[in-house]
Amino acid sequence: MRFDTGIDHVAFVTFDPGATVRFYTEVLGAELTHCITAKGWGPTDYPDFVHFFFNIGGATNLAFFYYFGLEPEELPETKVPRIARHVALHCPTMSDLDKWTDHLRAQGLRVARTEHETITSIYFKDPNGYQLEMTAPNRPLDDKDVRDAERSIEALIRAQAEGGSIERMWQLKGELVEAAAR
């Protein structure tokens, strides 16, 4: 098999989601397309996180993790698992992902599969131990996802300014959702 469908996303850790969003949307003109927020599902020491995506053309995205409680002086390389900084290859369909799963396993690789909110991914390691992800969409993203991501980021920036937790972020998000519906 030949992999030829490009990169879905490359992910990094951020300590300043506000500046990150401003840079990628205003300087680079990329669109904020999706934002995942989760409590208790991240690395052991930093289980509460926000994971957001900017589309930079075609199926390719730049992604960032914000971990509640992780300070900038704590290098993410040492404090969070390597999975936080990773490259995800793009599969157009679930059928493609299934074929690659079978192919990689047939080559003797250990392949783990996880269904996420809007994508399904497989994870495996290259010979250097670098984590690779390969991912296919569960459904297309739409304008509603974009608006939701913008509200999540606004809530995150406000919560971060207060020194708040993911709980506080979700409370602020609720206020934004109520205000938008008025």
Does 181 contact other proteins by CB under 8 A? yes
Burial of 1 (0-12, 13-18, 19+ CB in 10 A): exposed
Cβ nearer to other proteins, comparing 38 with 83: 38
- Kindly state the smallest distance separating residue 106's Cβ from other proteins, in Å: 26
Whether the CB-CB separation of 41 and 21 falls below 8 Å is answered with: no
Cβ nearer to other proteins, comparing 35 with 62: 35
Q: How far apart are CA 76 and CA 98, in angstroms?
A: 32
- Kindly state the smallest distance separating residue 2's Cβ from other proteins, in Å: 30
Whether the CB-CB separation of 94 and 120 falls below 8 Å is answered with: yes
- Residues within window 108-147 making contact with other proteins, judged by CB under 8 A: 114-118, 138-139, 144-145, 147
Does 73 contact other proteins by CB under 8 A? no
- H helices of 31-165, in order, are 76-79, 94-106, 143-161
Two structure tokens written together for 176: 């934004």
- Kindly state the smallest distance separating residue 157's Cβ from other proteins, in Å: 14
Give SS3 for 164.
coil
32, 70, 84, 155: residue in contact with other proteins (rule CB under 8 A) = 155
Number of residues that bind other proteins (CB under 8 A): 33
| Segment interacting with other proteins (CB under 8 A) among 30-38, 53-61, 70-78, 123-131 | 30-38
